[in-house]
C-alpha cells in the first residue's frame, strides 16, 4: 500500500475547512479577545447609604461640572447605577463620598481664582487623590470622604456596602489589611491617568513573548476585572517581588503569560486558609489538577495532610514538575528516613541503584486504590 492510498479522504471537505477555520479563530482570537472573562455572577452587595439632609447634597451635575474625567469613567461602572429608594437626592459620587453641597458652593464662589480655590479646598476639601499634601490634615476632617485617611477607614467606607459576600467578609483579618492596605490601593471607581512610580523598573518574562494572549483595551479590562487599577499579575507583583522572581524561573504556572491569574488560587480579601488560598490545603490545586484528587483507598499523607506544597513549589522552580528538590529520591528521603533501614523493606536506604528513582516502583505517588505502598 502506498502512502497516497493509505490516506483517508474526508467525506465532507467543506465541513473540515469550516471546522479548521473555527478552530484557528478560537485559538488565535481577535484583537479584543477575552481570555479570562469576568465571573458569571458577581459578588453579593448589601447596599447602604450615607445619611444626610437633602439640603447638604449638591447633585451629580455639580460634581460633573468640575470632575469631568472622573465622572466620565465612573458613569460606566455599576456604582453609577445605584438608586436610593425614596431618596432620589442621593446619587452618583455622593453615594460613596457623602454630601458635597458645601464644597461645591465654596468652589463656585472662588470663581476660578487660584488663591480662593485653594482656600476653599482647605475649608471644604474634595476627595481627589491629587490634592496637595499640605491640606491632608484638613482632608481628614472633611464632611466629604476623600479616601485619603488611614487604611482602616478607607476600607470601612467600601465595606459599608461590600460586606455581605464571603469574598470580602474576612478582609479586616486579612494579610493585606494587617499590612496597611485598603481597597483603593488596588481598585478604583474611576480609572483616570495616575502618576506611577517607575523607579523600580519592570521585570519582563521571555516566556510571555511566546505564549502571550491578546490583551484587552485598558478601559475594557478595568470594567470587567473588578475595577482593578492594573491587570493581574502586574498589580500583585508591585508588592510581591519575590513571587514575581519565582515566576521567572523556567518551570512555572502560566501566570506571566496571562493564562492564569493570582486570584485563581488566592483570595486577596483574606480567607481562613494558609496563604489566603481560595480553598483549603490541596483542594486549591486539585481544582485544576482534578486527576490528582482521588478519592484513594490508600492516601499519600504528604498530599492529604501537609498539602501539595510539601513536594511542589506552586509559583516556579528550576526542577521538573515544580519539585522542591532536583532529584525525586532526595525529595522522598526528606520524609522517608527510617523505613529503608527496617528488615521488612526489600532494600536499604542506599541499596537501590545510584540513578534509581523511587517513582520507578512507587508510581502512584498521589494515592492508590490497589497497593498500600503506592506501587501501583
CA distance linking residue 22 with residue 29, whole number of Å: 10
Question: Taking a C-beta distance cutoff of 8 angstroms, is the pair 351, 340 a contact?
Answer: yes
* Confidence at residue 315, expressed as pLDDT on a 0 to 100 scale: 95
Q: Is the peptide bond before 233 cis (omega within 30 degrees of 0)?
A: yes
Which range (37-41, 143-147, 212-216) has the least confidence?
Answer: 37-41
pLDDT at 330: 84
Distances in Å between the Cα of 225 and the Cα atoms of 116, 187, 193 are 40, 10, 18
Q: How many CA atoms lie within 13 A of 10 on its CB side?
A: 9
Q: What is the mean pLDDT of the chain?
A: 75
Q: Per the structure block, which three cell numbers stand in for 356?
A: 534509581
Q: What is the DSSP string of 29-83?
A: --TT--SSPPPSS------------GGG---HHHHHHH-HHHHHHHTTSGGGG--
Select, from the ranges 20-29, 86-95, 344-353, the one with the highest average predicted confidence (pLDDT).
Answer: 86-95
* pLDDT category of residue 262 using cuts at 50, 70 and 90: very high
pLDDT band at 60 (very low <50, low <70, confident <90, very high): confident
Q: How far is CA 280 from CA 171, 275, 306, in A?
A: 17, 10, 11
Residues 199-208, mean pLDDT to the nearest whole number: 58
Of residues 41 and 375, which shows the higher confidence score? 375
Q: Residues 289-308: pLDDT tens digits?
A: 998 988 899 999 888 888 89
Better-predicted residue by pLDDT, 133 or 330: 330
Mean pLDDT of 324-343: 75
Range name among 14-18, 213-217, 329-333 with the lowest pLDDT average? 14-18
C-alpha triplet 201, 316, 331: angle, nearest 5°: 145
Domain ranges of the chain: 54-149, 171-188+204-278, 285-368
Alpha-carbon gap, residue 78 to 109, rounded angstroms = 33
In this prediction, residues 138-166 reach a mean pLDDT of 71
H helices of the chain, in order, are 3-6, 13-28, 60-66, 68-74, 94-97, 101-110, 114-123, 136-140, 151-159, 175-178, 206-211, 218-223, 234-237, 241-247, 283-286, 301, 328-332
Task: Give pLDDT tens digits for 338-359.
Answer: 655 554 455 655 555 555 688 8
Amino acid at each position: 500500500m502506498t502512502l497516497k492510498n493509505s490516506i483517508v479522504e474526508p467525506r465532507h471537505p467543506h465541513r473540515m475547512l469550516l471546522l479548521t477555520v473555527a478552530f484557528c479563530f478560537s485559538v488565535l482570537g481577535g484583537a479584543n479577545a477575552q481570555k479570562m472573562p469576568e465571573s458569571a455572577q458577581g459578588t453579593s452587595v448589601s447596599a447602604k447609604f450615607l445619611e444626610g439632609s437633602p439640603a447638604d447634597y449638591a447633585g451629580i451635575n455639580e460634581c460633573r461640572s468640575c470632575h469631568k474625567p472622573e465622572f466620565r469613567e465612573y458613569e460606566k461602572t455599576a456604582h453609577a447605577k445605584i438608586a436610593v429608594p425614596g431618596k432620589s437626592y442621593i446619587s452618583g459620587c455622593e453615594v460613596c463620598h457623602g454630601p458635597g453641597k458645601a464644597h461645591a458652593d465654596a468652589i463656585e464662589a472662588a470663581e476660578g481664582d487660584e488663591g480662593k480655590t485653594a482656600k476653599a479646598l482647605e475649608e471644604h476639601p474634595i476627595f481627589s487623590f491629587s490634592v496637595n499634601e499640605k491640606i491632608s490634615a484638613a482632608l481628614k476632617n472633611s464632611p466629604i470622604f476623600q479616601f485619603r485617611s488611614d487604611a482602616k477607614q478607607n476600607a470601612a467606607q467600601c465595606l459599608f456596602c461590600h460586606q455581605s459576600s464571603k469574598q470580602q467578609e474576612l478582609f479586616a483579618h486579612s494579610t493585606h489589611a494587617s499590612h496597611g492596605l485598603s481597597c483603593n490601593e488596588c481598585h478604583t471607581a474611576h480609572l483616570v491617568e495616575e502618576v506611577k512610580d517607575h523607579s523600580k523598573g519592570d521585570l519582563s518574562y521571555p516566556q510571555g513573548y511566546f505564549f502571550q494572549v491578546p490583551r484587552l483595551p485598558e478601559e475594557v479590562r478595568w470594567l470587567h476585572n473588578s475595577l482593578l487599577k492594573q491587570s493581574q499579575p502586574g498589580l500583585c507583583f508591585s508588592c510581591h517581588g519575590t513571587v514575581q522572581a519565582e515566576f521567572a524561573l523556567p518551570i512555572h504556572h502560566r501566570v506571566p503569560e496571562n493564562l492564569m491569574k493570582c486570584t485563581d488560587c488566592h483570595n486577596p480579601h483574606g480567607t481562613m486558609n494558609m496563604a489566603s488560598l481560595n480553598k483549603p490545603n490541596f483542594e486549591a490545586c486539585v481544582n485544576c489538577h482534578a486527576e490528582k484528587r482521588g478519592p484513594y483507598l490508600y492516601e499519600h499523607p504528604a498530599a492529604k495532610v501537609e498539602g501539595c506544597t510539601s513536594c511542589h513549589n506552586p509559583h516556579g522552580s528550576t526542577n521538573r514538575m515544580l519539585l522542591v528538590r532536583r532529584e525525586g529520591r532526595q525529595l522522598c528521603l526528606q520524609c522517608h528516613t527510617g523505613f529503608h533501614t527496617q528488615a521488612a523493606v526489600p532494600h536499604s536506604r542506599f541499596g537501590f541503584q545510584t540513578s534509581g528513582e523511587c517513582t520507578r516502583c512507587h508510581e502512584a505517588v498521589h494515592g492508590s486504590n490497589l497497593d498500600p505502598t503506592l506501587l501501583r
